[in-house]
Chain A
Amino acid sequence: MHRLTLAQIARGLAAKDFSAVELSEALLARIGQFDPQLNSFITVTADHARAQAQAADARRAAGENGALLGAPIAHKDLFCTQGVRTSCASKILDNFVSPYDATVVEKLAAAGCVSLGKLNMDEFAMGSANESSHYGPVRNPWNLECVPGGSSGGSAAAVAARLIPAATGSDTGGSIRQPAALTNLTGIKPTYGRVSRWGMIAYASSLDQGGPLARTAEDCALLLGAMAGFDPKDSTCVDQPVDDYLAALNRPLAGLRIGLPREYFGAGLDPRLSDAVMACVEVLKKLGATVKEIGLPNMQHAIPAYYVIAPAEASSNLSRFDGVRFGYRCENPVNLEDLYKRSRGEGFGAEVKRRIMVGTYALSAGYYDAYYLKAQKIRRLIRSDFIGAFQEVDVILGPTTPNPAWKLGEKSSDPIAAYLEDIYTITANLAGIPGLSMPAGFVDGLPVGVQLLAPYFQEGRLLNVAHQYQQATDWHQRAPEGF
Chain B
Amino acid sequence: MALERSDVEKIAHLARLGLDDAELPRTTETLNDILGLIDRMQAVDTHGIEPLAHPLEATQRLRPDEVTESNRRDAYQAIAPAVENGLYLVPKVIE
Contacts and interface: CB of A to CB of B under 8 A. Distances in A.
A192 interface: yes
A358 B31 contact: yes
Interface string B53-73: 111101011010000000010
Given A336-B93, A381-B46, A315 B54 contact: no
A374 B78 CA distance: 44
Main SS at interface, chain B: loop
Given A380-B49, A381-B46, A344 B18 contact: yes
B48 to A, nearest CB: 9
Contact of B11 (A361, A378, A383): A361
A236 to B, nearest CB: 7
B56 A345 contact: no
Contact of A415 (B16, B33, B42): B33
B94 to A, nearest CB: 8
A307 B33 CA distance: 12
A339 B81 CA distance: 12
Given A377-B52, A383-B52, A430-B55, A339 B90 contact: yes
Contacts of A430: 55
Contacts, number: 166
A383 to B, nearest CB: 6
B85 to A, nearest CB: 15
A375 B56 contact: no
Contact of B60 (A96, A235, A364): A235
B22 interface: no
Nearest to A348: B17
A251 to B, nearest CB: 25
B37 to A, nearest CB: 6
A324 B81 contact: yes
Nearest to B81: A329
Given A304-B39, A344-B18, A357 B54 contact: no
A475 interface: no
B38 A307 contact: yes
B15 A324 contact: no
B2 interface: no
A192 B33 contact: no
B42 A344 contact: no
A381 B18 contact: no
Nearest to B46: A377
Given A324-B81, A325-B88, A341-B16, A357 B8 contact: yes
Contacts of B39: 304
Interface size class of A (residues with CB under 8 A): 35 or more
B86 interface: no
B34 A416 contact: yes
A371 B38 CA distance: 8
Contact of B41 (A325, A340, A375, A415): A375
Contacts of A96: 79
A308 B41 contact: yes
A74 B51 CA distance: 38
Given A304-B38, A341-B16, A374-B42, A336 B52 contact: no
B76 A338 contact: no
Contacts of A341: 16-18
Given A235-B61, A304-B37, A329-B81, A345 B19 contact: yes
Main SS at interface, chain A: helix
A240 to B, nearest CB: 10
A239 B62 CA distance: 13
Contacts of B53: 206, 376
A358 B34 contact: yes
A456 interface: yes
Given A232-B63, A235-B60, A304 B80 contact: no
A160 to B, nearest CB: 30
Interface string B8-37: 100110111111100000010011011101
Given A323-B81, A383-B52, A374 B31 contact: no
Contact of B82 (A327, A329, A364): A329
Given A357-B12, A380-B52, A305 B31 contact: no
A99 B17 contact: no
B18 A346 contact: yes
Interface string A393-423: 0000000000000000000000110010000
A378 B49 CA distance: 8
Given A374-B42, A419-B37, A456-B56, A379 B51 contact: yes
Given A358-B35, A380-B52, 13 more contacts: A238-B58, A301-B40, A304-B41, A322-B16, A324-B81, A325-B81, A325-B88, A327-B81, A344-B15, A379-B51, A381-B49, A383-B52, A416-B33
Interface of A: 95-97, 99, 191-193, 206, 232, 235-236, 238-239, 298, 301, 303-305, 307-308, 315, 319, 322-327, 329, 333-342, 344-346, 348, 353-354, 356-358, 360-362, 364, 370-371, 373-381, 383, 415-416, 419, 430-433, 456
25 contacts: A99-B72, A99-B75, A192-B55, A193-B56, A238-B58, A303-B37, A304-B38, A305-B41, A325-B76, A336-B90, A344-B16, A348-B17, A354-B34, A361-B3, A361-B11, A371-B41, A374-B44, A376-B53, A377-B46, A377-B51, A380-B52, A381-B49, A383-B52, A416-B33, A430-B55
